[in-house]
C-alpha cells in the first residue's frame, strides 16, 4: 500500500481518490474548501456534440463507466447524485436535422439517438421550425452535492484536510509536504493550477462560465431542452440555464453581460415567462486541444497532474481517474492524447 496525497478535492481529485481507494491505497486530500468549478457545473453528461452531430470523444468507453461509477459512489456515500435525463435538441437548421437523420440509422449511434418521430418534429415545448430529436443515455450529476457530499465522506474517514496549499511546505524532489513524505503526490487544483509553480509550464486555460436558475410555470418540461443553451429541469418548476463561455477569464464575478447573454440564448428556445432566482459563475480548466492534462512531472518522479477536464469533465473523470491510477500503480501507459508528454517531449 502506498501513501498518496492529492491536492484538490473537486471532480478530478475526488474521482481519483475513489479509484485509488478501490485499489487499496492510503489516500489523503487537501482542499481549501473553496470550489468554483465542479460545484458550479450543471453536471450534465451529453453523449453528443451537436455542432457536428458526432459522438463525444471516447464516448463508448467513458459513458458506461461513468454511469456505473456515479451510481456506486452515490450508494457508498449515501446521497442521491445520479439522475438519468432525456436531452431534447431543437435543430437550428434543416441541415442539422438531416445530419441527425443520417446518424440515427448508423449502428454506432443507436444507443444515443432516438429515430425522429412525428411527435419530435411537431414538438410544442419550444420554437420548433426544424423539428427536434431526443438523445438517449444522458444523465446529470447534482454537482454542488457531489462536492459537498464527497468532502463530508472523506472528512468522516479522516482523509481530507481543509486548508490552502502552502508552497513553503512543499518539496517536490523529496515529495514531502510539511513533515510527511509521500510515495506519490497528485495535483488536481483545476483552474487554480495556473498559479502553482510545479506544473506552471503546461498550457492550462481558464474559461469562465455563468448559469441562471429560473422558475417558470410555462416551460413544463421533464426533458432537458437544448439549442444555443441548455435548460435542465430541477424540482418545483426550477430550471438551470447555461452556460456562457468566456475565454481567458478567471473572474468569479457574476455579470450583467452574462445574464443578458443567457436570457438571449433562452429566448431562442421559447418566449417563456420566468423569474430569475440565482446567477452563478465558475471557471473551467480547459486546454486548447480539448484534451485533459495527465501524467508525471518531467523532473520530479512520483509527482503527477490530473487536470484540463474542460466542458465534459463529468463524463470523462471516472475513466480518466482509473487510467491515471493504473499509470501510477502499474506503469500502464496513458492514452497518448491525454499525456502531458505531448507538451514536454522534445
Ligand atoms: C458554469 C459551468 C458549467 C459547467 N457545466 C458542466 C456540465 O454540465 N458538465 C460537465 O461535465 N462539466 C461542466 N463544467 C466543467 C466541470 O465543472 C469541470 O470540468 C470540472 O469541474 C473540473 O474539475 P477539477 O476538479 O479539475 O477542478 P475544480 O472543481 O476547480 O477543483 C479544484 C479543487 O482544488 C482546490 N484548490 C485549488 N487551489 C487550491 C489551493 N491553493 N489550496 C487548496 N485547494 C485548492 C479547490 O478548492 C477545488 O476544490 C462546467 C463548468 C462551469 C464553470
| Residue range 102-159, pLDDT digits in tens | 999 999 999 999 999 999 999 998 999 999 999 999 999 999 999 999 999 999 999 9
Q: Is residue 220 in a domain?
A: yes
- Is 293 in the same domain as 189? yes
For residue 246, pLDDT beyond 70: yes
| Confidence check: pLDDT of 346 > 60 | no
Is residue 229 domain-shared with residue 97, that is, in the same domain? no
Which atom of ligand 1 is closest in space to residue 312's alpha carbon?
Answer: 11
Please check whether residues 198 and 293 belong to one and the same domain: yes
Task: Tell whether ligand 1 has an atom less than 6 A from the beta carbon of residue 150.
Answer: no
Taking each helix axis as running N to C, give the angle between helix 59-77 and helix 313-330, from 0 to 180 degrees, rounded to the nearest 10: 90
Mean pLDDT (whole number) for 179-188: 98
Q: Which of 6, 7, 11 to mutate to test the pocket of ligand 1 (most atoms within 8 A of CB)?
A: 11
- pTM beyond 0.95: the answer is yes
Query: Does a structural domain hold residue 119?
Result: yes
Candidate from 259, 313, 321 with most ligand 1 atoms within 8 A of CB, to mutate: 313
Per the document, the length of the chain is: 346
Please identify, by atom number, the ligand 1 atom nearest to the C-alpha of residue 210. 1
Is 223:140 a contact under the CB 8 Å cutoff? no
Same domain, 198 and 305: yes
- Please report whether residue 66 resides in a domain: no
278-305: average pLDDT: 97
- Does position 338 have pLDDT exceeding 90, yes or no? yes
Q: Is the domain of 161 the same as that of 172?
A: yes
Helix (H, G, I), strand (E, B) or coil at 14: helix
Structural domain of residue 135, as residue ranges? 45-55+81-139
* pLDDT given for residue 24 in this prediction: 96
Whether residues 209 and 267 fall in one domain: yes
The stretch 235-252 carries a mean pLDDT of 97
Cα–Cα distance measured from residue 192 to residue 7, given in angstroms and rounded to the nearest whole number = 11
Which atom of ligand 1 is closest in space to residue 283's alpha carbon? 53
Instruction: Tell me if 279 is assigned to some domain.
Output: yes
Is 69 part of a structural domain of the chain?
no
**Cα–Cα distance between 274 and 271 in angstroms, integer?**
9
141 Cα to the center of ligand 1, angstroms: 14
Cα-based distances in Å from 260 to 18, 212, 216, 243, 254: 39, 10, 17, 12, 11
Do 114 and 224 lie in one domain? The reply is no
Q: Are residues 241 and 96 in the same domain?
A: no
Give the CATH number of the domain where residue 275 resides: 3.30.9.10
Same domain, 190 and 294: yes
Q: Which among 10, 16, 149, 290 is the best mutation to test ligand 1's pocket, defined by most ligand atoms within 8 Å of the CB? A: 10
Q: Which atom, in ligand 1's list, is nearest to the CA of 147?
A: 49
Asked if the structure places residue 61 within a domain, the reply is no
Q: Are 86 and 135 in the same domain?
A: yes
Give the mean pLDDT of the chain: 97
Res. 1: pLDDT tops 90: no
Q: Does the beta carbon of 165 lie inside 6 Å of ligand 1?
A: yes
Q: How far apart are the first and last CA of the chain?
A: 34
From the list 124, 102, 80, 119, the residue with the least C-alpha distance to 235 is: 80
Work out how many domains the chain is built from and give that number: 3
Give the whole-number percent of the chain exceeding pLDDT 90.
Answer: 98
C-beta 211 within 6 A of ligand 1: yes
Distance (Å) from CA 323 to ligand 1 centroid:
19
- For residue 47 and ligand 1, the question of a CB distance below 6 A is answered with no
Q: Which helix (H) or strand (E) holds 135?
A: strand 132-141
Distance of CA 225 to the CA centre of its chain: 19
How far, in Å, from the CA of 123 to the mean position of ligand 1? 35
Angle between helices 143-156 and 11-22 (to 10 degrees): 50
**306 has pLDDT over 80:** yes
44 lines ligand 1 (CB under 6 A): yes
The residue-averaged pLDDT of 287-302 equals 97
Q: What is the pLDDT of residue 125?
A: 87
**Is residue 63 assigned to a domain?**
no
The answer to whether residue 64 is domain-embedded is no
The whole-number pLDDT of residue 93 equals: 95
User: Does the pLDDT of residue 345 top 70, yes or no?
Assistant: no
DSSP string covering 70-107, please?
Answer: HHHHHHHHT---EEEEEEEEEPSSHHHHHHHHHHTTSG
Amino acid at each position: 500500500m502506498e501513501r498518496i496525497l492529492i491536492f484538490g478535492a473537486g471532480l478530478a481529485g475526488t474521482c481519483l481518490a475513489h479509484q485509488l481507494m478501490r485499489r487499496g491505497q492510503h489516500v489523503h486530500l487537501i482542499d481549501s474548501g473553496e470550489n468554483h468549478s465542479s460545484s458550479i457545473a450543471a453536471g450534465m453528461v451529453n453523449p453528443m456534440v451537436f455542432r457536428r452531430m458526432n459522438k463525444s470523444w471516447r464516448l463508448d468507453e467513458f459513458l458506461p463507466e461513468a454511469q456505473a461509477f456515479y451510481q456506486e459512489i452515490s450508494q457508498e456515500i449515501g446521497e442521491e447524485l445520479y439522475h438519468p435525463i432525456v436531452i431534447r435538441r431543437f435543430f437550428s437548421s434543416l441541415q442539422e436535422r438531416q445530419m441527425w437523420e443520417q446518424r440515427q440509422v448508423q449502428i454506432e449511434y443507436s444507443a444515443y439517438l432516438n429515430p425522429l418521430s412525428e411527435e419530435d418534429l411537431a414538438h410544442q415545448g419550444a420554437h420548433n421550425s426544424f423539428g427536434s430529436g431526443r438523445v438517449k443515455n444522458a444523465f446529470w450529476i447534482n454537482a454542488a452535492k457531489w462536492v459537498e457530499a464527497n468532502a463530508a465522506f472523506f472528512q468522516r474517514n479522516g482523509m481530507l484536510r481543509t486548508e490552502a496549499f502552502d508552497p513553503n511546505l512543499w518539496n517536490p524532489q523529496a515529495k514531502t509536504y510539511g513533515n510527511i513524505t509521500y510515495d506519490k503526490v497528485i495535483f488536481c487544483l483545476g483552474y487554480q493550477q495556473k498559479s502553482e509553480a510545479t506544473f506552471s509550464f503546461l498550457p492550462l486555460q481558464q474559461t469562465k462560465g455563468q448559469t441562471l436558475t429560473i422558475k417558470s410555470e410555462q416551460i413544463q418540461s421533464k426533458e432537458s431542452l437544448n439549442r444555443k443553451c441548455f435548460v435542465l429541469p430541477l424540482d418545483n418548476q426550477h430550471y438551470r440555464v447555461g452556460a456562457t463561455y468566456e475565454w481567458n477569464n478567471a473572474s468569479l464575478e457574476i455579470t450583467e453581460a452574462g445574464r443578458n447573454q443567457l436570457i438571449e440564448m433562452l429566448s431562442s428556445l421559447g418566449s417563456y415567462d420566468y423569474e430569475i432566482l440565482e446567477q452563478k459563475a465558475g471557471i473551467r480548466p480547459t486546454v486548447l486541444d480539448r484534451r485533459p492534462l495527465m501524467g508525471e512531472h518531467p523532473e520530479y518522479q512520483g509527482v503527477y497532474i490530473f487536470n484540463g477536464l474542460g466542458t465534459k469533465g463529468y463524463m470523462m473523470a471516472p475513466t480518466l481517474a482509473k487510467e491515471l491510477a493504473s499509470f501510477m500503480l502499474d506503469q500502464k501507459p496513458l492514452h497518448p492524447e491525454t499525456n502531458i508528454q505531448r507538451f514536454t517531449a522534445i
